[in-house]
Amino acid sequence: MRFGGLTAVREVDLTVRSGEIVGLIGPNGAGKTTFFNCLTGLYVPTQGTVSYRGTVLPPKPHLVTKAGIARTFQNIRLFANMTVLENVMVGRHTRTKEGLWSALLRGPGFRKAEQAGEERSMELLEFVGLAHKRDHLARNLPYGEQRRLEIARALASEPGLLLLDEPTAGMNPQETRTTEELVFAIRDKGIAVLVIEHDMRFIFNLCDRVAVLVQGRKLVEGTSDVVQADERVVAAYLGEPFEGDPGEAEAAEVEAAEVQAAEAGSDTETADAESTSTTKGEPQ
């Protein structure tokens, strides 16, 4: 994904299995949100395609949701003047015959679908701990609850893969703990979870694996221990220049190859120069 001369995301390929939580971290501007935007059809990659479960996704958000990927955003995007329950029910529009407009305009078709969807929506509100607030307007919920409502709305599309963009941003420690428990519970339902977060304690507690994005490329992927011990990750966070080749927890091999390449006077970047920015998630 290029913006003018800047390549914001290049060749990022991730596997998130069902029932697994994978973290996506990286310094500011590393390309994390752009990666989510490419996956969910908000951005059309300038080169390459986005595949999910082996199928190329059309870059249209509603078709991506239909294909089984749901997301939340860095900044809360609820329907502020709708009730808590209505917000979740709108999230079900890709799973009902009624379209989004019918849901928003509350036509007769929507009322039928409403009955059918209400039970499931209430289950989801129960799941995120907001059933008792079903008739409150979304805008009147405290911040932490608004974020939980967003997650319930994303779950309403019955995703196989859930993308969470900074779910604990702005939360107090208690709200962060509640969110952590909620993400574990989502994982336990067999949903694949990919989460962007700057709170490292949250990430390393939560995730089965962590991928580090630096300057749009995957630098390292591995368990929390592997990632925390990787000197290149520390260097990237300290703002030191990134010159390595992205690898998947094979730091030693990559480093050896870089040394060899440097000795041979070759440029390690050229190997990737003609690659496309293909991204792929495959929950299984």
**CB-CB contact of 22 with 224 (8 Å):** no
Beta carbon of residue 35, minimum distance to ligand ATP (angstroms, whole number): 7
Q: What is the number of other CB atoms lying within 10 angstroms of the CB of residue 205?
A: 14
Beta carbon of residue 28, minimum distance to ligand ATP (angstroms, whole number): 4
Residue number, 39 or 124, with CB nearest to ligand ATP: 39
Beta carbon of residue 145, minimum distance to ligand ATP (angstroms, whole number): 23
Residue number, 29 or 190, with CB nearest to ligand ATP: 29
Beta carbon of residue 228, minimum distance to ligand ATP (angstroms, whole number): 19
Can you give 22-79 as a three-state secondary structure string? EEEECCCCCCHHHHHHHHCCCCCCCCCCEEECCEECCCCHHHHHHHCEEECCCCCCCC
The CA-based angle 262-272-225, given to 5 degrees, is 75
Beta carbon of residue 34, minimum distance to ligand ATP (angstroms, whole number): 3
Residue number, 71 or 93, with CB nearest to ligand ATP: 71
Binding site for ligand ATP (CB under 6 A): 3, 6, 8, 26, 28-34
Beta carbon of residue 1, minimum distance to ligand ATP (angstroms, whole number): 8
Residue number, 19 or 27, with CB nearest to ligand ATP: 27
Distance CA 179, CA 209 (A): 18
Q: Which two tokens stand for residue 179?
A: 């969110």
Residue number, 26 or 281, with CB nearest to ligand ATP: 26
Residue number, 41 or 117, with CB nearest to ligand ATP: 41
Residue number, 3 or 184, with CB nearest to ligand ATP: 3
Distance CA 189, CA 58 (A): 27
Beta carbon of residue 8, minimum distance to ligand ATP (angstroms, whole number): 4
